[in-house]
Structure 1
Amino acid sequence: MNKVETTDRFATEAGRTQAERREQAVLSPVALQVAQQYRRDTMSPVIVSGVMRLVEFAVLLLSGLQIYAGYVGLGGELSWEYPLVITGVSLLAVILLEVLDAYQMPALRNPLSQAGRIFLTWSAAFALLIVGLFFLKVSAQFSRFWLGTWYAAGLLLMLILRLAAARLIRRWARNGRIERRAVIVGGGKNAETLIRAIEQQPYNDIRICGIFDDRDDTRSPPVVAGYPKLGNIDELIAFARIARIDMLIVSLPISAEARVLSLLRKLWVLPIDIRLSAHANQLRFRPHAYSYIGSVPMLDIFDRPINDWDSVAKRAFDIVFSLLGIIVFSPIMLATAIAIKLDSKGPVIFKQKRHGFNNEVIEVYKFRSMYVEHSDPTARKPVTKGDPRVTRVGRFIRKTSIDELPQFFNALFGSLSLVGPRPHAVAAEAHNRLFYEVVDGYFARHRVKPGVTGWAQINGWRGELDTEEKIRKRIEYDLYYIENWSLLFDLKILFLTPIRLLDTRNAY
């Protein structure tokens, strides 16, 4: 069963009353206090090691260019060959260090143990350079002083950089700035064995924040391996909404299939990695089927949809295209603001509370399209065709979606993404039922940031959600987008949006 099929299955089987209870669960004072301690975001080890690659490459490149400019001089013979060689050797050194796992967190934390690898790698890169220059019969044209000086300087700079990075990483680890926060799901002996195994891993970056288990204290002890049981699985959902948890580790045997599936039906709506501990299972798969915390094997059940460098790329995408959108549409936005001001009294911009990433409440900007006295910040009553609350200008800007243009600023500031599931109002209803009461697994759409435009909108599910079928279809397309996200997919949606906006049948 692939990941999309698994997601669809859990979405179908999750209960509405369970969803409502989870989102409204009240944490115990202890659990709430622990959750508040972990509200601050952490730096991903993947991002830290990636930045280290870029910094090391830049240091080697710039040192080689500076020595070349200072000794050989710019604009002389081989004016393009020197920069090409410097770039190639710097890149080769970083690639070789990557092959030798020198950018993994244990290696970065203990630079002295990597001194031999750094020396051999840098020497190998220069040896390959010298061999290449010899066979190309151009070695005599390159300065030997430059070659020797860059070799010594590069080696020294890498060692200094590694020592400085190790000191910084250790400080971040002490301060809780660089760690992966995990919650253990399931207690008892299995959880204790798992915790002991994780704690024994050298240079461990896992911070266990607590244990959650549906069983009472007679079947599951209130404290396991020194960690308190903070609540049941329903309370875990509320806990994870507050704390910045990275990973849920289910410490149940695979043989307990019914209980594992029951847990996953509840937990899959969270925007975090979900792992099934495999360290105590008798059933063994091939090594590549596992991910590992140190040497502790895990089975990957769900991954955070957009994580690490993907999140960096998507944020850069949002900033670039949001700025471009603001520049291109600024005349239209200015004209709209003037028209609104002339048409009816009140502010130009209307702020509405909507559900954002991880179910957090955000404020979304829109051009005001209703009379001030009839404004509905909670959107409890949807706008219908011929709605008397809508102004003359409001009818036009809603029909053309011009009222949504201020959301480019939301995307620029980070509360929205340019592309994603459209943010629904916190009190939106259909036939007096809240959306999460209509659609099983509704909250799974909040595993990514909501968007100014989305896959559902360009497939015709735009505008009024007046029937349960429309709500279900929109969520279906939202979940498809989350499971199949890529920058190219975002680009496709972004460029199809103006074309799809020509269809105004459902826009009132």
Structure 2
Amino acid sequence: MSKIDLAIEGSPGRQPATSAVQRTVRLWLCLLLLVADMAALAAGFAIGLRVAGVPLAAGEFWHPLAGGMVVYGAIAFHNQAYNPVCLTRITPSLRNAIMAFAGTLLIFLLVVFSLKATGDLSRLGISTGILCSSILLAFQRLLIVQSVRRNFSDNLFAQLLIIDDGVIPDDVTGMILVDAAAVGIRADLDDPYMLHRLGTLLRDYDRVVISCPGDRKADWAQMLKGANILGEIIVPELDPMAPLAVRNCRGVPTLVVARGPLNLANRAKKRLLDIAITVPLLIALSPVLIAVAIAIRLDSAGPVFFKQERIGRGNRLFHILKFRSMRVEQCDAAGSASTQRDDDRITRVGAFIRKTSLDELPQMINVLLGEMSLVGPRPHALGSTAEEQLFWQVDRQYWHRHALKPGITGLAQIRGFRGATETRRDILNRVEADLEYLHGWSLMRDIGILFGTFNVLVHRNAY
């Protein structure tokens, strides 16, 4: 029996009760989010008062704080900080809450200066309270989003999939499936009763997805536009292009299939982080760099550095710098042969610097030159293969990685995906991690990856 056969009979009739439960759960979770916000604000300012040496029972501080919490609640509600979307998506949850907190602080400062009450306040207590409240606010929201995802997954929202002679997705977890023909629904814009029947079916759902042939997509789209619901239509023919959005060029619809993952401000922040860390590190590690260079020259004849063509941002080639770890006559400029454990091409010093990742240190020069970043997808040699296939032949999404500068370290590295690529899965793991990093970039994530790198500087796959 097919998935449709299992869901045709009676499934729409059972959904209203389930939908009511889901709405109730969402309401309670949103109330939990509100209570957690207030607790975070209260705890943060309590810490600030304690640091400033102000008694926690002092009413002259708690009365304004209570008023501020009311103002925050109103602004946050208006700013969609308690929208159910904030229960499952961390970015809008944090953004809306922090913006509401910033608005509350602005109003607070305007009131304080208007009343000329700045002398009655503990600047240390207020500053510490703002800092602690911000941290607690972000932390508890992150915790709630992770908990909701883990415990409710796709069951927090009522989702309907209508099959009208279309394809069925492989994963329909948490969705109710309905065969349009079996329940008497069709895309007919000339029949008001048909629109009424569809509206009656959709009223207990939060999201509906239509799967139908190409010649019916336009009619279904028109029917959904007035249904007061998040409506989507499956378009499998677009999958190879993976469009990001729909735009318009001189009156003609276009599909947006690519855009830079970072705007100018974020690129500037990432570059400043690179410079702020790389310059002091190069100065501090200069004795180590000199010692390694001397050891390489004493161990084997040849240059200290190894240069190799790698693919950088925008799919542009650059020369990566590494300490030479192989004998000159056996260096693989194309990178067609992955380094193996106990590889006889590696020198004695080379084995040590590869095991400890010291061979990667010259890449900080690439960072200073703007060719690389401290954190990003690792650049691979042009001839690198997995199961006798070039990396981009294993997965065409490989090229997507190059929307960002390559990095000395990255999400794939701290997850242990390094070393030889003996199987297709070895490179697929890296591509998946790199794409996750690309689509979820943040400055704090870069800092977290840098700290995580210390745990994998010496790794069993580093040889």
TM-score normalised by length of structure 1: 0.44
Higher relative CO (Cα under 8 Å, sequence separation at least 6) belongs to: 1
